[in-house]
Amino acid sequence: MSSLLFIYNAKSGFANTIIDISNKLLNPETYSCNLCAITYNTFTENKTWKSFRAQSEIDMKFYHIDEFVRRYPNYSNLEFPIILLKKENDLQEFMSSKKINALKNVEDLISVIENKSKAA
């Protein structure tokens, strides 16, 4: 079975969450994770994204950088954020950091995921 792995350009933990929220509020133009910005509002998950995830048949897993690198140390040199396609034990790029950072909103992300998933 295949899965999509979403790796945010952020570290896990309460202190890092506070830093990210502050950065999102005070310097949104310099916020370094567009995947975070379009799937989460300041404090909660985007409603459109949450609904898509709940209704989708796609297996999705979510990681912060540190969590991902602990689990997949051979992939620590990737550019984050990134979405990977996991087929058995193989990880392939599904959507690059450059493409994620070019997205304008969550609807664009959902559209790409749906279209690419049909082709995969």
Report field, pTM of the whole predicted structure over 0.85: no
pLDDT at res. 45 = 85
pLDDT at res. 118 = 73
The answer to whether 34 and 100 are in contact (CB under 8 A) is yes
Residue 48 DSSP SS3: helix
| Nearest to 19, CA basis, from 39, 6, 33 | 33
pLDDT tens digits, residue range 31-47? 567 788 889 877 788 89
How confident is the prediction along the chain (120 residues), in pLDDT tens digits per residue? 589 999 998 776 665 555 665 566 556 565 567 788 889 877 788 899 999 999 999 999 999 999 999 999 998 899 999 999 999 889 999 999 999 999 999 999 999 999 988 766
Q: Per the structure, how many domains does the chain have?
A: 1
Residue 110 DSSP SS3: helix
**Residue 33 is part of a domain; what is its CATH number?**
3.40.30
Which burial class, exposed, middle or buried, applies to 96 when counting CB atoms under 10 A from its CB (0-12, 13-18, 19+)?
middle
pLDDT at res. 5 = 96
Per the structure, the complete domain to which residue 20 belongs is given by 2-119
Phi, psi values for residue 109, rounded to 5°: -60, -50
pLDDT at res. 56 = 93
Stretch (H or E) spanning 7: strand 2-7
Beta bridge partners of 60: 4
